[in-house]
Amino acid sequence: MIPLTRPARLTPGARVAVVAPSGPVPEERLQAGVDILRAWDLDVVVGPHVLDRHAEFSYLAGADEDRAADLQSAWCDRSVDAVLCARGGYGAQRMVDLLDWDAMRAAGPKVFLGFSDITALHEAFAIRTGLVTLHGPMVAGVDFLKNTRAQEQLRATLFDPESVRTISSSGAPLVPGRAHGITLGGCVSLLAADLGTPFARRSAGGGILMIEDIGEEAYRLDRILTQLLRAGWLDGVAGIALGSWVECGPPEEVRAVLADRLGGLGVPVLEEFGFGHCEGALTVPFGVAAELDADAGTLTLDVPALT
């Protein structure tokens, strides 16, 4: 696994496009998030279908074709410097293969931000365009709107990435040690769901795998991780950082499953790293070479997330 191409950092006045590849977006939360971005001196444009609702399925932000069109149009617009997701939910898998990845690759590098269901798009951007992406708070997300830490760390990553080359947490080692590799990950259920799909990553070998999830009970996490193990997807992984496990059941039971399924890999595992569906979620780049220090609770990037 080799480092991916890093997009350019943002500067005051940069144009950013907001899209909704997955679930429906509450209008008031979208507006609040856009107001924060404009206060950062960003020129914000909102995709025409961001506030749509699917005619049949209430869990989708409009038709698959329209959600894909918004993302592709924003990405291929030369005046747009970054594409930011409004929220996760569900739906990215339904539209990811509707995108013209040749055209998007030709449009050149730019910042892409999101998490949760957006994991499917992080993987697609990595495999189909070779670009670094940012796993972090989304524009209409409650954490982004209300948590200063989440806002400040994201803003630093976008505008001053040198200042956040070392990402620190209050996490502790589930398995001690240090590891070096290329960052990747997201919602572990989405990574498992991606197996066998076109252009899916063959394995996490050589990577610093960063995983988290929400609403997956302990037995489901067991099943997901067992599937990744049986498929050989975790073979050769260099190290693992664990984020939040909101609504996944009693923490001690979740921890026991994680230790049972991951502890035998013989690599450092850091828990409670503070990214994902948690308060004050950290922004983490995917596709960058980094050192994970499970004992210190840190991830140190070889280079800044953005150029």
Question: What pTM value is reported for the model?
Answer: 0.96
Asked if 133 and 205 sit in the same domain, the reply is no
pLDDT at 172: 92
Q: E-strand spans in the chain?
A: 15-19, 43-46, 82-85, 111-114, 133-135, 166-168, 172-175, 178-187, 207-214, 239-246, 269-271, 284-286, 289-293, 298-301
Are the C-beta atoms of 260 and 219 separated by less than 8 Å?
A: no
Asked if 181 and 146 sit in the same domain, the reply is no
- Sheet with 207-214, side-by-side order of all strands: 166-168, 298-301, 289-293, 178-187, 207-214, 239-246, 269-271, 172-175
pLDDT digits (tens, 9 = 90+) for 107-159: 989 999 999 999 999 999 999 999 999 999 999 999 999 999 999 999 999 99
Name all contacts of 49-57 with Cβ < 8 Å and 24+ positions apart. Answer: 49/20, 50/18, 50/19, 50/20, 50/25, 50/86, 51/20, 51/25, 51/27, 52/20, 52/24, 53/24, 54/24
Inside any domain, residue 1: no
Asked if 186 and 283 sit in the same domain, the reply is yes
Give the model's confidence band at 102: pLDDT under 50 very low, under 70 low, under 90 confident, else very high: very high
Inside any domain, residue 25: yes
Asked if 152 and 174 sit in the same domain, the reply is no
What is the 8-class DSSP label of residue 162?
A: G
Domain of residue 145, CATH code: 3.40.50.10740
Give the model's confidence band at 253: pLDDT under 50 very low, under 70 low, under 90 confident, else very high: very high
- The set of catalytic residues is 116, 212, 277
Asked if 58 and 189 sit in the same domain, the reply is no
Number of independent structural domains in the chain: 2
Asked if 26 and 72 sit in the same domain, the reply is yes
Asked if 28 and 143 sit in the same domain, the reply is yes
Give the model's confidence band at 250: pLDDT under 50 very low, under 70 low, under 90 confident, else very high: very high
Asked if 112 and 225 sit in the same domain, the reply is no
Give the residue from 161, 192, 213 where a domain finishes. Answer: 161
Asked if 252 and 228 sit in the same domain, the reply is yes
Q: In terms of residue numbers, what domain contains 83?
A: 15-161
Give the residue from 123, 146, 161 where a domain finishes. Answer: 161
Rounded to an integer, the average pLDDT of 212-225 is 97
Asked if 157 and 170 sit in the same domain, the reply is no
Asked if 170 and 297 sit in the same domain, the reply is yes
Give the residue from 161, 195, 211 where a domain finishes. Answer: 161
